[in-house]
Structure 1
Amino acid sequence: MRHRFATVSAAALLCLAGTAGLAEASPASSHGPSAMVFTVTQGGDATTGTVLRAAVLSCAYTAEGTHPDPRAACDALNAVDGEFDRLLATPDRGRACPRRKDPVTITADGVWNGDRIGWKHTFRNECVMSATLNGNALYAF
């Protein structure tokens, strides 16, 4: 399992490196470049779990990357000003989720406004993740 994560991470980071280089060359942001890799991993440890999905996002002059809706994702990232814990602030309390333990870990790695970011959060299961992120476009891939 570790090899799958390493392969996806290496490929994503190569994309990120290329995208980050483009972001640095672009004068779009007065705060510095923004290029991130996002993952959703089955398990409580992102380094040993199975990567379910991943996306690369660059929020330079234009929003681009492998994310299916890069503009909405960049807007969501701007809304929390790169403070990923704020994504967890407004869970949908009306949504009932099973109590079963089947951990899912989300990560964000890269550069946000010129600052290095490495963030992760583990949810009890995918339903809790969905209810907590409550339609946030950042992890809608």
Structure 2
Amino acid sequence: MALLPFAACLMSLSCLAPAQPPASTLQLTSHDTANRIGSVVLTCDPAGGTHPKREKACAVLSGVDGDFSRIQARHQACTLIYAPVDVTVVGTWRGKPVSFRTSYPNRCAADRDSDDVFAF
């Protein structure tokens, strides 16, 4: 009887393929004080969607396992002009629900502090 699970596995061939992580699909939106609204879709595993820097954004998010609060800012100087940018993210990261919202003091800080995840 121990062969039954093995036989079922061979018949479906599901035991032969490596497990793939579920695809990640995220809707990223930004809104600034000039009332400009930007929105892109980012898919990872494989990288795709409408994000202009999708390969880099997926690499950054892979490094923090989809946790936007853990993204490390890159070293870049930004002006101190206050022009807030609000960003939101909804979707799934490798099968887990994602919901993130924060504000940055300006567009430069949003791009820098998200390591270009919000550069769109």
Residue of 44, 57, 60 corresponding to 1:59: 44
Q: Percent identity?
A: 27
| Deviating 4+ runs (over 4 angstroms) | none
Give the TM-score taking structure 2 as reference length: 0.69
Deviation of 1:120 (Å): 1.0
Residue of 23, 27, 32 corresponding to 2:22: 32
| Equivalence for 2:57 | 73
Give the TM-score taking structure 1 as reference length: 0.60
Larger radius of gyration: 2
| 2:85 equivalent to 1:104 | yes
Q: Distance in 2 between matches of 1:121 and 1:28?
A: 37
Q: Distance in 2 between matches of 1:84 and 1:51?
A: 22
Deviation of 1:64 (Å): 1.2
Report the count of equivalent residues. 104
CA-based RMSD: 2.6
**Structure 1's 74 and 90: CA in aligned 2 closer, same or farther, altered over 3 A?**
closer
Structure 2 unaligned blocks of 5 or more = 1-16
**Counterpart of 2:79 in structure 1: which amino acid?**
C
| Equivalence for 2:5 | none
